[in-house]
Amino acid sequence: MRVHLYGNQLMLRAVTVFAFSLFCIISFGHVDPAFGKDDGVTSIFSPLAQPAQEIKETSILVLAVCAVIFIVVGGLLVYGLIRFRHRAGDEASEPPQVYGSNQIELAWTVLPILIVFVLILVTSRTIADIQNRKPPPGAVQATVVGHQWWWEIRYPELGIVTANELHVPASTGNSHQPTFLKLQSADVAHSFWVPQLAGKTDLIPNKENRMWIEPTIPGTYLGNCAEYCGTQHARMLIRVVVQSPEEFDRWVKDQQQAISGASGAAEDRKAFFANSCVNCHTIRGTSAQGKFGPDLTHLMNRETLGAGAVTNTPDNLRLWVRDPQKFKVGCLMPNMQLTDQEVNQIAAYLQTLK
């Protein structure tokens, strides 16, 4: 009895390891959005743009090679465990001992070297392909700056500054219009990751990294900061809004408009400009020129507040102005201890920023 139990335990362990590996492979790469139900759970296994597709092809090859090795090794192990398990009456005898087979040793030295060599060649070709891509004329250039915990997005050539939503044109059949990104950080290391568009690239203080994306299907693509950067790392979401070239041009024209100094009711405007909002936020066309927090010029065109913490609705906006710490504990915008009237007036003014 004791003998059989021992064999079964080993088997159980092998099966557990196998199941765990399978679970890791299947669940790897999923990103859960901070809110919303089925909206935008995104996977590296369903890429919808370059270079994510190219990366997936390479990783499928690597995964397939590893899966074959896993099955061969795991299969031999299970076969050995069952076929040569300890049986009653075996106590006295030693199994036959084998060593020094040149063929076997050559095989298990040369084969892995060949496999590793093939994987190195394929991987470095993909990496070089992606890194050496040069921006074609007409490519959109944007700078993304990581902050604790939001994304500043600038289009220097277009004169646009926005936050947390990167708008890019879709490439169509006959016109390639990729977007080239410069990645910087204002504080600590972050990582820009939109799984269906491209791999991760880090945003490092005092260093500029580059990446590009070339989506073809309009829609909103969700991503995350993928490098732990402090308390609210999990609520540092990025949305990439891919638009048809015409829609993108329209968005650019809208964003280039400054805000009129006479926007909103005079009382509401006064409440905003009399408080310290202006020390941290810019509204182009007005005296608000703070650089510390997100640019609010076209705030109402954004889908979320607090880098994906909550949806941008009038109610949430009011709650956010009253106490951002409710939605995003530790975020750098403090509770300003505003009166109810001030909260309502500031929220009303913000709602005119379209």
Q: Which is nearer to ligand CUA, 154 or 235 (CB)?
A: 235
161 binds ligand CUA (CB under 6 A): no
Query: Which of 23, 28, 117, 228: binder of ligand CUA (CB under 6 A)?
Result: 228
The answer to whether residues 227 and 191 touch, using CB atoms and an 8 Å cutoff, is yes
145 binds ligand CUA (CB under 6 A): no
Q: Which is nearer to ligand CUA, 169 or 306 (CB)?
A: 306
DSSP 40: T
Q: List all residues 6 or more positions away from 347 whose beta carbon is below 8 Å from its beta carbon.
A: 314, 317, 318, 321
Query: Which of 154, 190, 269, 302: binder of ligand CUA (CB under 6 A)?
Result: 190
List the interface residues with ligand CUA, window 39-98 (CB under 6 A).
Answer: none
Number of residues that bind ligand CUA (CB under 6 A): 9
Query: Which of 40, 146, 294, 324: binder of ligand CUA (CB under 6 A)?
Result: 146
Instruction: Report how far Cα 222 is from the mean position of its chain's Cα atoms.
Output: 7
Residue 151 beta carbon to ligand CUA: minimum distance, rounded to whole angstroms: 9
Q: Which is nearer to ligand CUA, 144 or 347 (CB)?
A: 144
Nearest to 222, CA basis, from 243, 249, 193, 244: 193
**Cα separation, 161 vs 335, whole angstroms:** 25
CA angle centred on 350, ends 349 and 352, rounded to 5°: 70
What do you get for the CA distance between the two ends of the chain, in Å? 77
305 binds ligand CUA (CB under 6 A): no
Residue 146 beta carbon to ligand CUA: minimum distance, rounded to whole angstroms: 5
Convert residues 258-297 into a mask of x (bound to ligand CUA by CB under 6 A) and - (unbound).
----------------------------------------
Residue 236 beta carbon to ligand CUA: minimum distance, rounded to whole angstroms: 4
DSSP 259: P
Residue 187 beta carbon to ligand CUA: minimum distance, rounded to whole angstroms: 9
Sheet holding 150-155, edge to edge: 49-50, 209-215, 179-185, 140-147, 150-155, 160-163
- Residue 175 three-state SS: strand
Stretch that binds ligand CUA, among 25-33, 77-85, 103-111, 224-232 (CB under 6 A): 224-232
Query: Which of 54, 152, 214, 227: binder of ligand CUA (CB under 6 A)?
Result: 227
Q: How far is CA 248 from CA 45, 94, 163, 177, 255, in A?
A: 27, 76, 16, 11, 10
The answer to whether residues 263 and 353 touch, using CB atoms and an 8 Å cutoff, is yes
Stretch that binds ligand CUA, among 72-80, 193-201, 223-231, 312-320 (CB under 6 A): 223-231
**Which residues form the interface with ligand CUA (CB under 6 A)?**
146, 149, 190, 225, 227-229, 233, 236
